[in-house]
Amino acid sequence: MYLPKAKGEEFFQKFSTDVDEVGEWFKPYDIDSMELKIGSVIDTAETTRLLVGFKEENGLKVVLKQKPKTTKSRQGY
């Protein structure tokens, strides 16, 4: 997998997301749960960044459910 080289703030702009955006990735499904395992934290006066990391014990686990199928009722039947 190719990862572009980036440093400092540019790195965070390329590889950052928020929980709402993660929810959009899985919009065709209902999200049952999300588990985020944090590798480290960067805390500044403006923001707190949670770093997921790349080690096996870190990461994001999303448990999905199929959305319930809706049935359209026909009028007059």
Range of the domain at 40: 14-66
Residue 61 phi/psi, 5° resolution? -115, 125
| Chain centre distance of CA 59 | 10
pTM: 0.55
The angle subtended at Cα 54 by Cα 62 and Cα 21, nearest 5°, is 40
pLDDT mean values, one per 10 residues, the chain (77 residues): 67 74 89 88 86 77 86 56
Residue 4 forms part of a structural domain: no
Query: In the 3-class helix/strand/coil scheme, how is 28-52 assigned residue by residue?
Result: CEEEEEEEEECCEEEECCCCEEEEC
Contact 9, 42 (CB under 8 A): no
pLDDT at 77: 45
Residue 44 forms part of a structural domain: yes
Domain count, the chain: 1
Residue 62 forms part of a structural domain: yes
Residue 42 forms part of a structural domain: yes
Residue 21 forms part of a structural domain: yes
